[in-house]
Amino acid sequence: MGQSMPQLEFRWTSWLRIFKAPAPLKTRPVKDDGGLTAWCAEASASLGLPELARKVRVSWNPRMQTTAGRAWWPDRSIELNPKLHQCEPDQLWRTLKHELAHLVAYERCGRRRIDPHGPEWLAACADLGIPGELPYHTLPFKRRRMKRNHAYTCPHCFSTIHRVKPIRRAVACYECCRKFNGGIYHDRFRLVKTKPLA
């Protein structure tokens, strides 16, 4: 009867130290364009799409290489290639309308799945003043050429591949593995780093 019960001690702060705050999400390197956003909002409102008018955003993405623009749903955002600044103004507006048509088509269809360049998109293009729009642009956007400083050679067939980045794991010659080992990796065909020709 004279024994006392042991007491439990709670240390909440010690447990809180275990949990680290999550790392911030990496965002796309974009620069908002208020003027183009306002135009898209006005165009969406005129088509009777108030939610799209309220949420649509247009930005410039310098990481885009050969793509003129792209639309993100359900974010209701449009990204444009800064190279459009070097084109005629009508190319910029056509690209903007092309991408906005995607958002208009998705907004009108709600949760129903549609073909990205199907009849719903074509109807939206016509409503935005670009009837008969083609799915893909023909603008002369060249991909940035990167120097391939890393060369690897197969010790069996002596074929060489060139890479922008070094290979960090064991990689074998695909043709030799397919021809002599049923397509399965074998160390005797492992690529060996060689000095690229100047």
Residues 2-24: pLDDT tens digits? Answer: 555 555 444 444 434 444 444 44
CATH of the domain at 57: 3.30.2010.10
Any domain includes 37? yes
pTM of the model: 0.59
| Residues 120, 67 share a domain | yes
Any domain includes 154? yes
| Residues 122, 37 share a domain | yes
Q: Which pair of structure tokens corresponds to residue 138?
A: 């023909």
Domain boundary among 80, 95, 127: 127
Domain holding 185, by residue range, is 150-194
| Residues 101, 70 share a domain | yes
- Using DSSP's 3-state secondary structure scheme, residue 10 falls into coil
- φ and ψ of 154, to 5 deg: -80, 130
Any domain includes 82? yes
DSSP 24-46: PPPPP--EE-HHHHHHHHHHHHH
Query: Cis omega before residue 74 (within 30°)?
Result: yes
| Residue-level pLDDT at 142 | 64
Residue-wise pLDDT tens digits, 99-122: 999 999 999 998 888 898 999 999
Q: Give how many domains the chain has, as a whole number.
A: 2
Neighbours of 71 (CB within 10 A): 21
Any domain includes 1? no
**Identity of the amino acid at 73:** W
